[in-house]
Amino acid sequence: MKFFTKKEKKIILLILVCLFTIVGINMKVSLRRGRDNTRKNDLSVLQKALDIFISKYQMFPPSVDGKIEGCFGPDTKVDPKTGKLINLHVCEWGKDVFENIQTLPKDPNYKKGASYLYLSDTKKYQIYISLEGKDEAEYTPAIINKNLQCGTKICNYGREY
């Protein structure tokens, strides 16, 4: 039985290093795209919940420090004169229940300081996220120019209504 020569071993090692490098880069890109898809899906879920909220209460929930002030507590009531909700609580991303969402979504990179941003005056709202991939079709330089903070990141994609 004949073993590989030094030259053959080097060639095999070089091929393996190239393969692992290519696989590693593709894996990193796939994981990033997966996180960005999660963010976009979270935005769609939030939009549906906000549509339900406005159909029930004739207003969008207000915002406080980039969060939704639309979670119910024991002291939340409907004002009999105006029909508006009073004593709503600020919802925490990833913890609270909001409309049809069991747990309000949070950014996949929340441990690194990334967050979603919600802004509303009760008549209209804006939701922003920070996509990691600049090659994403939804990546919006005009939103970057607004210099809005999605946690520790600059927001670069959003929806306004």
pLDDT, mean over the chain = 91
Look at residue 122 in the predicted model and tell me its pLDDT: 92
Residue range 125-147, pLDDT digits in tens: 999 999 998 888 888 899 999 99
d(CA 118, CA 61): 10
- Does 39 map to a domain? yes
- Does 1 map to a domain? no
E strand intervals along the chain = 63-64, 67-71, 77-78, 85-86, 89-90, 117-120, 125-129, 149-150, 153-154, 157-160
pLDDT above 80: residue 1: no
How many domains would you assign to the chain?
Answer: 1
> Between vectors from CA 107 to CA 105 and to CA 112, what angle results, nearest 5°?
145
- Does 98 map to a domain? yes
Give the pTM: 0.85
Look at residue 129 in the predicted model and tell me its pLDDT: 96
- Does 142 map to a domain? yes
Look at residue 106 in the predicted model and tell me its pLDDT: 95
Sign of CA dihedral 82, 65, 91, 124: positive
d(CA 126, CA 117): 8
Residue range 39-73, pLDDT digits in tens: 999 999 999 999 999 998 889 999 999 999 999 88
Mean pLDDT of 71-81: 86
- Does 33 map to a domain? yes
Mean pLDDT of 24-34: 89
Contact 57, 84 (CB under 8 A): yes
- Does 121 map to a domain? yes
pLDDT above 80: residue 2: no
Residues of the domain holding 68:
6-160
Residue range 94-118, pLDDT digits in tens: 999 998 899 999 999 999 999 999 9
